[in-house]
Amino acid sequence: MLIRWSLAVLIGLLAGVWTAQRPGDPALLPAASSETAIVVHLLDNGFHTDLAVPRAALATGDDALARAVRALPPGDWVRIGWGDSVFYVEQGAISGRLPDGARAFFKPGGNPSVVMLDPDPTDPALFSEAERATLRLSPQGFAALRARVAASLRLDEGGQAVVSAQRDGDDAVFYASGETFWVGHLCNHWTAEVLNAGGLSMPMARSLTSGAVMRAARQAEQSAAELDLNDAGD
């Protein structure tokens, strides 16, 4: 009887963790009529999520993130991602990288990680709706999102972001991160944390998958659109 009760409690706790949402901060979201809202796009390639943000907004200030962004090659948008310092950087057929993927997921103690900053001249709004969610953040919400990205960077003694890797023929720069990568904290978990910092409610445990992050972002997008319609009808 005790074993059954314990199993039921454990299953209930796991279900609660899996379905729980980390609430956002509505105060960080823009008013429907706001003309100062900053547009941020969430991009999904089927298993990994990146953020695409306006370069000008990301480069504001004089912290390590701003200096890193200003040093990038040209591009009005910057894609931001996070991942394992080896698996995320390397390219090639996934079939040949499965052993390294298993290492990145399950190595005890986790793995070093990197923040990707990739300048892009292409407007993310041109991506298909299946690959993109578009979000409007208040200046305060964007500042909080930006601060979460900046907090991921590992800095040298001079306060500069540390370049970890670059790829031949690729403008993306991978900067060392102070966070660790493992199955309990994957790339999509990180993206969810960044969006949550910006004011969005996010399903942290279910953010294991890119689809869960996209669904939460689209829900925020839909809720904002409904507020716009309600305000227009008043």
pLDDT band at 2 (very low <50, low <70, confident <90, very high): very low
Average the pLDDT over each of 156-160, 163-167, 226-230 and give the range with the smallest value.
Answer: 226-230
pLDDT band at 6 (very low <50, low <70, confident <90, very high): very low
CA angle 122, 226, 32 (to 5 degrees): 70
Q: Show the tokens assigned to 123.
A: 């407007």
pLDDT at 210: 94
pLDDT band at 96 (very low <50, low <70, confident <90, very high): confident
Find the mean pLDDT for residues 100-126.
93
Question: How many whole angstroms from its chain centre is CA 137?
Answer: 14
Contact 166, 172 (CB under 8 A): yes
Dihedral, CA of residue 111, residue 160, residue 82 and residue 164, to nearest 10: -60
Find the mean pLDDT for residues 5-13.
34
Q: Show the tokens assigned to 163.
A: 């370049």
Contact 132, 42 (CB under 8 A): yes
Nearest to residue 53, comparing CAs of 68, 69, 30?
Answer: 69
pLDDT at 225: 63
DSSP 124: G
Q: Show the tokens assigned to 8.
A: 């039921």
Contact 178, 194 (CB under 8 A): no
Across the chain, mean pLDDT equals: 86
Contact 38, 54 (CB under 8 A): yes
50 versus 220: which is more confidently predicted? 50
pLDDT, tens only, 63-90: 999 999 999 999 999 999 999 999 999 9
Nearest to residue 221, comparing CAs of 40, 66, 50?
Answer: 40
Which residue carries 């992050």 as its tokens? 213
pLDDT, tens only, 191-219: 999 999 999 999 987 788 999 999 999 98
Q: Would the pLDDT of 13 be above 50?
A: no
